[in-house]
Amino acid sequence: EATPTSSRPSHRRLIGRGQLLLLAAAVLGAFVALMPRAADHASACAFDPLRPYAYEADQTRTAYRLAFDAVSSNALFANDPFFSLPPIERGTRSNRANAEAFIPADLLKAVSWVESDMTMAQRAVPFDSIGEALVSFDCGHGLTQVTTGMTVPLGANNLPSDRQVLIATHYAYNVARGAQIMAEKWNTAPEQRPVVGTDTNSDPALIENWYYAVWGYNGFTGPGS
């Protein structure tokens, strides 16, 4: 697997599997920090007029890649009714049935790389530090550019909900929500999009079979989506 690179400032430090969990617990409090938004920045949508803060991991994206590996088999938040990965349907158009929750990890990593350069914070934020979270002009948040449910505040008193804060500020929850959305796109076949891989019983382990789900991840519109 190629090592990702980027032009952002770097304070490099590799994060192991055990450290990933410790890191998430240690900086969870800092993830929910908010600050006033500068006028020349893109809208933070659900957080306006504030700006969420997020942790940006090491330059090799070790923590992020481990999170994608875990979520691909529903090993990240399996018991969470909101963030767990749903069952993935298999079978031909007339023979669809729920199967185990699974999405190829390499597919999720590739989508994240295209969507955000696999980053959680703004480009000016150094690696291994906390800074302004990545929010796109159309309300896409973080690594997987989650837009669904992130355009307006959904909490009490017109504030962001706890789930919105987690998606915008904590990479593990952002990864989980992005994987969930991808699974939802897959599971809408054949009702909303064609079934791919009928000769393989629509096996989700084959990345090629995710063609229309990946297309639908960013709107199922024309070329360039």
Residue 189 has pLDDT above 80, yes or no: yes
Residue 12 has pLDDT above 80, yes or no: no
Mean pLDDT (the chain) is: 85
Residue 31 has pLDDT above 70, yes or no: no
Model confidence pLDDT, tens digit, residues 91-112: 999 899 999 999 999 999 999 9
pTM of the model: 0.82
CA angle, corner 122, sides to 217 and 138, nearest 5?
Answer: 40
* pLDDT classification of 83: cutoffs 50, 70, 90: very high
Model confidence pLDDT, tens digit, residues 195-207: 999 999 999 999 9
Give the residues across from 135 on adjacent strands.
141
Residue 37 has pLDDT above 60, yes or no: no
CB atoms within 10 A of CB 30: 12
CB atoms within 10 A of CB 9: 14
Domain boundaries, the chain: 21-78+87-217
Residue 1 has pLDDT above 50, yes or no: no
CA dist 71 and 118 (Å) reads: 15
Residue 15 has pLDDT above 60, yes or no: no
What residues contact 55, with CB distance under 8 A and at least 6 apart? 23, 27, 30, 31, 120, 121, 129, 130, 169, 170, 171
- The number of CA neighbours under 13 Å toward the Cβ of 193 is 19
* pLDDT classification of 49: cutoffs 50, 70, 90: confident
CA dist 58 and 10 (Å) reads: 8
Percent of the chain with pLDDT over 70: 78
The Cα-based distances of 133 to 10, 88, 164, 174 in angstroms read 17, 31, 13, 12
Residue positions counted in the chain: 225
The reported pLDDT for the residue numbered 22 is 40
